[in-house]
Structure 1
Amino acid sequence: MARAGVTPHRLTTAAADLADEVGFDAISLAALARGLGVKDASLYSHVGSLKDLRTRVTLLALAELADRLSDAVAGLAGRDALLAFATTYRRYALEHPGRYTAMQQELDPGTAAGSAAPRHGELVRAVLRGYGLADPDQTDAARLVLSTVYGFLGLEAMGGFSHHPRDLETSFVRSMDAVDHALRHWAATRTSTPAQ
């Protein structure tokens, strides 16, 4: 029997905290048990496997970030909403690198559908409606926004910007200003694709 106080939620939160400390790929049931002061075997009354635990961390991170994004963009539109969305995303990734990595893991379709992942898409689309964009332009614009944010975060995480003294916060805001400009001047979708 697991030590009193070890619940599925506490276990998942502890695993997410551990992921932030050592990296998502480095979490293990043994390390988690040590951190909680219980025997490895006692964790199996709450979690089926390491894969199950990692899925739970992914779901937790998706929900946490969705809540933060929702709070950040509430009542905002246009550039203000875009910058709030992007800045909140970046801040979460910097504060919780293990959780952020967990969110990049692919979930099976049923699990993904029941998770907070669809809320992320709904939130970016809500930001884009402030620019008057509807599908299919909205989908293209959502891909631009997310690619810009993910790309910046990926390069920042691997130290890709460390060779230059320019402040990263300023560069990030300037990048989002460029996206804002693109969204405000979005051209209607072409009906044909460019020749190869």
Structure 2
Amino acid sequence: MARAGLTAERLAEAAAELADAAGFEQVSLSALARRFEVSVPSLYSHVKSTHDLKTRVALLALAELADRGLVALAGRSGRDALTALGNVYRDYARAHPGRYAAARMPLDPATAAASAGLRHTEMIRAILRGYDVPEAEETHAVRVLGATFHGYVSLELAGGFDHSSPSSERSWSRAMDALDALLRHWPDE
């Protein structure tokens, strides 16, 4: 019999907390079983495997990020919207490094299609409409923004900017300036 109070959602939330505290790579069924003082087999009535558990954490993180992004973008356009969304990713990664890592987990196509991941692409496309980036060029621009946001955040989380000057805050602002300039002058094909 499953322990009272354990659900797939509760396990995903606990796994997300574990990811933030110990790292996404430390998320496992055995770690959760220890946390809840149950046997690993008792968790199988809620999740299929460690991979299933990690996928649930990824979906949770993608949804949390998308919800925050939508709030941040409301009423904004141009550089203001661009910076607001970039800051959502950056702030979330700082507050929830394990969940942020989970959000970068590759998902199978069916899971990805049903996830909040598509909302992220749509938020970026909404920003691009404010810059008049041609529809035929949007995918390229989405990739540039995603690579810049996630690349910068990943380097920052890894301590890549800890021992250099100027501050990473200043560099982040310059990165947003550069992206804004690029989007205002997006090259024709």
Tell me the TM-score range normalised by the shorter chain. over 0.9
State how 1:89-128 maps to structure 2 within 5 Å. Answer: 89-128=89-128
Partner SS for 1:45: coil
Identity %: 54
Give me the whole-angstrom Cα distance separating, in 1, the residues matched to 2:51 and 2:141: 34
TM-aligned CA deviation for residue 130 of structure 1:
0.7
Residue of structure 2 equivalent to 1:170 = 170
| Whole-angstrom distance in 2 between the partners of 1:38 and 1:131 | 53
- 1:3 maps to 3
Cα RMSD, aligned residues only:
1.3
Q: Name the count of aligned residue pairs.
A: 189
Query: What is the rounded CA distance, in whole Å, between the counterparts of 1:170 and 1:59 in structure 2?
Result: 32
Inter-partner Cα distance in structure 2 for 1:185 and 1:111: 35
Please name the residue that 1:193 is paired with. none
Alignment partners' CA distance in 2, 1:99 and 1:61: 5
1:102-134 superposed Cα distances (whole Å, 9 cap, x missing partner): 122211111111111111111100011111112
- For 2:182, give the aligned amino acid: A
Aligned position for 1:194: none
Residue 57 of structure 2 is matched in structure 1 by: 57
Q: Which amino acid counterpart does residue 29 of structure 1 have in structure 2? A: L
Tell which deviates more after alignment, 155-164 or 65-74: 155-164
Q: Which residue of 1 aligns with 2:131?
A: 131
Give the aligned partner of residue 184 of structure 2: 184
Offset, 1:188: 1.6
Alpha-carbon distance in structure 1 between the residues aligned to 2:132 and 2:174: 22
Q: Aligned AA for 2:119?
A: R
Q: Calculate the TM-score normalised by the size of structure 2.
A: 0.95
Q: Which residue does 2:21 correspond to in 1?
A: 21
Q: Which runs of 5+ in 1 are unaligned?
A: 190-196
**SS of the residue aligned with 2:164?**
coil
Letter in 2 for 1:36: F
Q: Distance in 1 between matches of 2:123 and 2:135?
A: 15
Letter of the aligned partner of 1:46 in structure 2?
H
Q: How does 1:10-49 map to 2 (within 5 A)?
A: 10-49=10-49
Normalising by structure 1, report the TM-score: 0.91
1:186 CA displacement: 1.7
